[in-house]
């Protein structure tokens, strides 16, 4: 079959007419495939089975007990709601791996049992819960408990925490994992306020994405109130041996005692970031802005849960070199939390705007040089993903029907989205674009919108005002076509030009490593130097860099990631002990996924990866486990 296929390919190449016929057939097949796919309706959230168009939940009242022994949350949720259609007979909620104990309806001020049905689970979406809705009911209560395998919960043993004495629990709801610990309308189209009671062991503290009480006594019962309506993926809780320390009037850190002071020192500029963002883009709408430092198994860099961003400890570098992550999560307070994507197809509206704001905040706090360097590194990350991702995943408005929305997370919605906004800024000027963004955040405050709604708004508020600089055709090219559009702005950094020269000279042998003046290099310069080395280096070159700069032993997790990736690609064995410890101790997907992918590319590397993963897997979050399972043990 292979020989016949090869001969056919050669025949096509040599025969112009046959080549044209085959090209036409391929185009026809592609056209038929597109035609066979039902047209996407941007108003529909294809990742929810709920019925908010008929019954819209507006407030949740949670009462949950936390059992580390059973690894479960148990209790109830009460729904306030609005009827959006006549003669509605049921409230449909999203669930995943939940045990539903009972359902009740409040009629004329009294609770009475009501019927419910848990449908067969959908592979990606979970099971729809249908609760009978009496005609005069004004509230619905669902009693339930979670499963130890809930995709949105991670239960950590004391050994997996910084303090090594007490257990830890945290949630991760984005994109559709809230349904694994609360039955609800799990779609960003629905925004709800909430109240909650969490009942915990008395030696632990509970916090939520709500109004927290810093330094509250550890009583075993904690009450929370979230007055602003938020989408379900921003509901979050954590329970652990947590202490609090303020950084400013509105900012502070919750963390285990052993890392609290280091976190406060690292993120001391958070209050300044908050103040300067308000000056440019309008008031901060959420009261306090605190940080929760999680154990290293947290699968993301950060999660923008309102009032309380969840942060990985891997960005505590000791020199504030990785605090762009804090700027990013803070920026979500405007783009994402206040103005939210309507569906996961529109994720770029959250992440593209937030990444653009991140760069702007970093420039305002730390200056143009750092802004330029971080922009170049982000652009290179985007180029790397564009080179690897299939064309449909390179679109900003990505079609994720029948797929897990987690599959849509890459550098595309972040960096391509930010680059689109940078192009608009470049064409109309920064002052005009800042004014537009401030108005945009105000006009859509506490609402969710689709890509098409964004385009309509831009058409009115930008294109119509700047017809010579902007066009809808160009904007639609950015959103609906793969790749980076020709003529897109490419970030540049003079500092990196010097690094290019140093790298070239070292590779040619005209510059010794001992003569490289790297003592003053920033993390960004080191990353640029390492990430742009040739794929293959000699053993002598690897040893030279490692001996001179102690890269295998670096305490910066981002630099370590880049160096360990180079070590894998060059089978540099002196780094493999550090690599094993790194993979076991860190669960952040951004850092470990490329390492596992590189390892399994060779037979010996795959054996190493499988051995290490056996030890590392129990400490990973379920989201990281799913990703690594597919890589290491497909």
b/e sequence 19-41, b meaning 16+ C-beta within 10 Å: eeeeeeeeeeeeeeeeeeeeeee
Give bridge partners of residue 525 from the DSSP assignment. Answer: none
440 given a catalytic annotation: no
List 54, 329, 415, 423, catalytic entry: 329
SS (HEC) of 329-345: HHHCCCECCCEEECCHH
Question: Is 347:326 a contact under the CB 8 Å cutoff?
Answer: no
Please tell me what DSSP assigns to residue 346.
Answer: G
Q: Long-range contacts made by residues 420-428, C-beta under 8 angstroms, separation at least 24?
A: 420/352, 420/396, 420/475, 420/478, 420/479, 421/352, 421/353, 421/356, 422/356, 422/489, 423/478, 423/488, 423/489, 424/462, 424/470, 426/489, 427/466, 427/469, 427/470, 428/462, 428/466, 428/469, 428/470
Residue 197: name the closest of 375, 70, 333, 74 by CA. Answer: 74
d(CA 436, CA 438): 6
d(CA 591, CA 561): 6
Cα 388 to Cα 121, 223, 385, 446: the distances in Å are 32, 46, 5, 36
Question: Is 487:479 a contact under the CB 8 Å cutoff?
Answer: no
Please tell me what DSSP assigns to residue 405.
Answer: G
d(CA 503, CA 48): 50
Residue 331: name the closest of 366, 370, 362, 301 by CA. Answer: 362
What lies within 8 Å, CB to CB, of 34 at 6+ separation is none
Give bridge partners of residue 65 from the DSSP assignment. Answer: 74, 199
List 233, 254, 356, 414, catalytic entry: 414
Question: Is 242:256 a contact under the CB 8 Å cutoff?
Answer: yes
Looking only at the bridges linking them, the beta strands covering 289-293 and 251-255 are parallel
Please tell me what DSSP assigns to residue 322.
Answer: T
Taking 3-state DSSP, the helix, strand and coil percentages for the chain, each rounded to the nearest 5, stand at 45, 20, 35
351 given a catalytic annotation: no
DSSP line for 161-214: SSSSSS-EEEE--TTTTGGGTS-B--STT-EEEEEEEEE--TTSEEEESS---T
d(CA 520, CA 515): 13
d(CA 72, CA 416): 39
The residues that are catalytic are 329, 414
């Amino acid at each position: 079959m292979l020989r016949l296929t090869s001969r056919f390919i050669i025949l096509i190449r040599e025969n112009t007419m046959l080549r044209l016929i085959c090209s036409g057939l391929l185009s026809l097949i592609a056209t038929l495939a597109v035609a066979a796919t039902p047209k996407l309706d941007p108003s529909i959230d294809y990742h929810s089975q709920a019925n908010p168009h008929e019954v819209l939940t507006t407030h949740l009242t949670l009462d949950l007990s936390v059992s580390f022994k059973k690894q479960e949350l148990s209790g109830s949720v009460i729904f306030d709601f609005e009827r959006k259609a006549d003669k509605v007979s049921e409230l449909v909620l999203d669930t995943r791996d939940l045990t539903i104990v009972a359902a009740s309806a409040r009629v004329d001020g009294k609770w009475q049992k009501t019927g419910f049905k848990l449908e067969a689970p959908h592979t990606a979406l979970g099971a729809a819960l249908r609760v009978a809705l009496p005609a005069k009911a004004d509230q619905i209560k669902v009693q339930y408990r979670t499963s130890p395998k809930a995709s949105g919960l991670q239960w950590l043993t004391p050994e997996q925490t910084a303090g090594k004495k007490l257990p830890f629990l945290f949630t991760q709801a984005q994109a559709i994992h809230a349904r694994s610990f609360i039955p609800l309308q799990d779609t960003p189209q629905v925004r709800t306020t909430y109240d909650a009671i969490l009942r915990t062991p008395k030696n632990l503290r509970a916090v939520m994405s709500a109004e927290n009480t810093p330094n509250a006594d550890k009583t075993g019962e904690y009450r929370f109130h979230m007055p602003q309506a938020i989408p379900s993926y921003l509901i979050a809780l954590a329970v652990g041996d947590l202490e609090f320390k303020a950084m400013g009037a509105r900012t502070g850190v919750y963390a285990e005692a052993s890392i609290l002071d280091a976190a406060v020192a690292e993120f001391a500029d958070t209050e300044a970031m908050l103040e300067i963002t308000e000056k440019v883009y309008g008031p901060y709408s959420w009261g306090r802005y605190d940080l929760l430092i999680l154990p290293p198994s947290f699968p993301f860099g950060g999660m923008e849960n309102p009032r309380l961003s969840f942060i990985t400890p891997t960005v505590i570098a000791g020199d504030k070199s990785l605090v762009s992550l804090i700027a990013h999560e803070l920026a979500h307070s405007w783009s994402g939390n206040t103005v939210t994507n309507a569906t996961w197809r529109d994720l770029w509206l959250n992440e593209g705007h937030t990444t653009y704001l991140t760069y702007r905040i970093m420039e305002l706090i730390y200056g143009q040089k750092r802004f330029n360097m971080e922009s170049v590194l982000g652009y290179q990350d985007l180029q790397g993903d564009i080179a690897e991702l299939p064309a449909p995943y390179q679109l900003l408005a990505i079609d994720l029907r029948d797929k897990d929305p987690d599959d849509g997370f890459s550098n595309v919605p972040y960096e391509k989205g930010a680059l689109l906004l940078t192009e608009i800024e470049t064409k109309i000027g920064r002052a005009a674009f800042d004014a537009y963004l401030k108005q945009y955040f105000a006009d859509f405050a506490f609402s969710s919108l689709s890509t098409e709604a964004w385009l309509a708004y831009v058409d009115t508020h930008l294109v119509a005002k700047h017809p010579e600089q902007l066009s809808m055709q160009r904007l639609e090219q950015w959103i609906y076509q793969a790749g980076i559009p020709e003529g897109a702005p490419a970030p540049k950094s003079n500092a990196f030009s010097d690094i290019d020269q140093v790298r070239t000279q070292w590779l040619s042998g005209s510059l010794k490593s001992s003569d490289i003046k790297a003592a003053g290099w920033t993390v960004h310069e080191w990353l640029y130097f390492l990430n742009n080395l040739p794929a293959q280096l000699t053993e002598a070159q690897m040893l030279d860099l490692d001996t001179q700069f102690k890269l295998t032993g670096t305490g910066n997790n981002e630099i370590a990631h880049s160096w360990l990736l180079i070590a894998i690609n060059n089978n540099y064995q002196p780094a493999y002990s550090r690599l094993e410890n790194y993979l076991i101790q860190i669960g952040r997907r951004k850092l470990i996924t490329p390492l596992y992918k590189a390892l399994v590319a060779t037979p010996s590397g795959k054996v190493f990866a499988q051995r290490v993963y056996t030890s590392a897997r129990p400490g990973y979050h379920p989201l990281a486990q799913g990703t690594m399972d597919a890589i290491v043990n497909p």
